[in-house]
Every structure is written in structure tokens, then in C-alpha cells.
Structure 1
């Protein structure tokens, strides 16, 4: 599936494989967070929300902003690609926002969206990690508030620290280092996922054979018809 065999830009090696590793590394935390917040919802609702609406929102956002930035450079004389080595990715994002109508309002809205994205991501990851690190936690129990607070604060500090390092240390490519670390750390997680999927298939076959799944389906139908 090498789509870069002719141009040899290195994009596949630098980004495609990294994103695969990123998804693998986040599998456990995202899966646990979605399962924890999905009580009372059907599999259809969970699938549509996470696999359709979330993906569509990201696709629309990146499509609009990305194409707007490229349009400004191709047709309106901007030179974002030429100054990215001087001001960095965040600086170029700010320059793109400054070319929009009502730039101050656009920057303010963008900062609000980034804040909520970071806050919800920190909450999700913090809750998942606090559940992993809590000893003797039962299925119907919540982790201690201090555990969740610790991990959430840590997830808020790390991005700020990375930005400060990239801004203050000349020639430091923090993103390249992070890519390498995530790619390497995803390898043992990938092995664990293989075992997890094998275990899931084993449990699923058992539930089908003893009729457990059928009982849940019938009970769900009864509750639905009763509510209607």
C-alpha cells in the first residue's frame, strides 16, 4: 500500500505509519473511555457517534481550514510554507487565522475550541488511566477524584511543555521525537491487542453457544417496546 513509490517524499514513513501507531497506542484508553460513558446506549448509537459523526466533524474541519490555507497561498500571495521553519506550525496556524474576516473573533473562537478539545481529551485519558492505576476498582465504581485530577493535570501540562521546548530550544524537532516514541511504544500494545481480540472472539462464541447474547437482545427489545 505504498502510495509514495514514485515521488519518494517520505510522507508514508514520516506520517502514515506514525498515525497507524498513534491509533494503536490510544486503543486501550479510547476503548475504555467510550465503554465507560456508553451505559444505556445501544451499539448502533455508539457506532454512529464515534465512527460517523466524529470522523465527519474532523474531516469537515480539516477540509475547510486546510483548503482555505492552501487557497490563500496558491491564489492570494501568502507564503505559509516559506515561513513555517521560522514560526513553526502554531505560528502558521495563527497567520492563517489572521487572513480570515474578523480575525480577532476567529482566533478567539479557535482558542475556545482548542481549549474544549484539550479539556475533553485530558478528561477522557485521565479517567481511563486513573481506572488502570486504581487498585481493586470494581466495575460499578469510579476512580478516586485525586487520581483523575492528577492524570488530567498531567495531560494539560505535557502539551504546554512540548510547545515551550519547541519555542525555546533552537533546532529541536519535538514532533519527530514524539513520532518515534509513539511508533516504538505501539509495538507491545499491538501484541496485547491481538491477544485481546482473540479473547473477545472466544468469549463471544461462548455467549452465542449458551444463549447469553440472545437473552440480552430479547431483553433490549422488550424494554424498547415497553417504552414505546
Structure 2
């Protein structure tokens, strides 16, 4: 999957999904890392890595296994043609029809919308928190950025997201993520060197 580009079929799937999510993770990792480090004061590096990589990976694996397996079941047993819906109406319609096929679909869809809203709200809050922390002059470790400063950044990010979606829907967002990720990937080398130096300074004997 890492090296598959579909040169013969030309479906565009690797570019739209694999490459996009690589770029998405690369572009969002710095502010997510700063946010996690900020709220994880007092925990060890081992606890931090296990909590994020282990439980986050397990949760994602369960989610994709359940919904992906259910979607394959619907398609292979001719219960619901998700491929036709995808070709005619797009990804959003596939999600809606998949949820509609579940028992008590109305409750499931309401629950899905609430979870999506919580996810977007927490993501926006963490992004505005990190940006406000970086933009605040001489912010001490134990201090929090001003609430009005966080609100301003949240408003700016909201307007930016709405503008990108209004201009070209998901494709513009994907292209923007890839463009932003390119210089950030180069900075990861500096981040790694800085981390190693900080660890050697804090733990000179490797303890």
C-alpha cells in the first residue's frame, strides 16, 4: 500500500487517500504534538507513547474493521450497492446510506452527527489553543493563553475551513494539506535533532 500508485488503472485512489492522509498527518502532527505535550505534564514519555500510539491505533483499527467489514458485507451480498452510490453521489452519500442501513438508523445518525461535532470542536479548540500559545509573547510553562486570543484563532480557522470547502469542497482541502505538509516534513529532521538533544540534557546518564 505504501508504494502502490495504481499506474495502470489510474483510479486516483492512492493519491486521494494514502498520499493525502500521509500529508494530513504530517501537516497536523506539530500542533497536535504541542497540544498533547501541553496537557500531559507530569506523565512519562513511555506513558505518552503508549497512550497515543497503542490505544489510538486500537480504536482506529476497531472502527475501520467494524464499518469496513459491514460495508463489504453490504456490497458483496447485494444488500446495498455502495460502489454505485459512490460513483453517482460521492463519499458523503455513501456514509449516509451506510448509516441508514443500520437498525434504529435515526438514532445512529443523530449519534454520528453529535460525535462528528464533538470531534470538530475538540480539533478546533486544540488548534486554536496551540496557535494562541505560540503567538503569546513570553508565555510561561504554567500559564494559559488568553481566552480571547484562543477565540480569535478559532474564528480565523473556522473562516479558513469554510472558505476552502466553499471554493472546491474536499479536493481543495486535500491539496492544501499536501502543500503545507511538504515544508513541515523537512522540519521533522530538526525536530528529531532537537528532541535527542533535549533528552540528553534532561537525562545525561540515560536514566
* Normalised-by-shorter TM-score class: 0.7 to 0.9
Pick closer, same or farther for the CA change 1:76–1:158 going to 2, 3 Å: farther
- Do the aligned residues in 1 keep the contact of 2:5 with 2:15 (CA within 8 Å)? no
Match of 1:88 in 2: 90
- Alpha-carbon distance between aligned partners in 2 of 1:87 and 1:17, rounded to the nearest angstrom: 23
Pick closer, same or farther for the CA change 1:177–1:161 going to 2, 3 Å: closer
Match of 1:11 in 2: 13
Pick closer, same or farther for the CA change 1:186–1:68 going to 2, 3 Å: same
Pick closer, same or farther for the CA change 1:105–1:150 going to 2, 3 Å: same
Pick closer, same or farther for the CA change 1:76–1:13 going to 2, 3 Å: closer
RMSD: 2.4
- Do the aligned residues in 2 keep the contact of 1:2 with 1:12 (CA within 8 Å)? no
SS at 2:90 equivalent: helix
Deviations 1:66-118 (A, max 9, x none): 22122212213312221234433222211111111111111111112112111
- Alpha-carbon distance between aligned partners in 2 of 1:155 and 1:102, rounded to the nearest angstrom: 35
Match of 1:31 in 2: 33
- Do the aligned residues in 1 keep the contact of 2:20 with 2:174 (CA within 8 Å)? yes
- Alpha-carbon distance between aligned partners in 1 of 2:8 and 2:62, rounded to the nearest angstrom: 27
- 2:181 aligned with 1:181, yes or no? no
Pick aligned residue for 1:194 from 179, 189, 194: 189
CA positional deviation for 1:159: 5.0
Greater mean deviation of Cα atoms: 125-134 or 146-155: 146-155
SS at 1:26 equivalent: helix
- Alpha-carbon distance between aligned partners in 1 of 2:8 and 2:61, rounded to the nearest angstrom: 25
The higher-RCO structure (CA 8 Å, 6+ apart) is: 2
Match of 1:128 in 2: 130
Q: Gaps spanning 5+ residues in structure 1: where?
A: 167-171, 215-228
SS at 2:64 equivalent: helix
Match of 2:112 in 1: 110
- Alpha-carbon distance between aligned partners in 2 of 1:54 and 1:112, rounded to the nearest angstrom: 20
CA positional deviation for 1:139: 1.7
- Alpha-carbon distance between aligned partners in 1 of 2:8 and 2:73, rounded to the nearest angstrom: 23
Match of 2:73 in 1: 71
What is the TM-score normalised by the length of structure 2?
A: 0.85
Pick closer, same or farther for the CA change 1:162–1:84 going to 2, 3 Å: farther
Deviations 1:168-189 (A, max 9, x none): xxxx5x2222222211211211
User: In terms of Rg, which structure is larger?
Assistant: 1
Aligned pair count reads 205
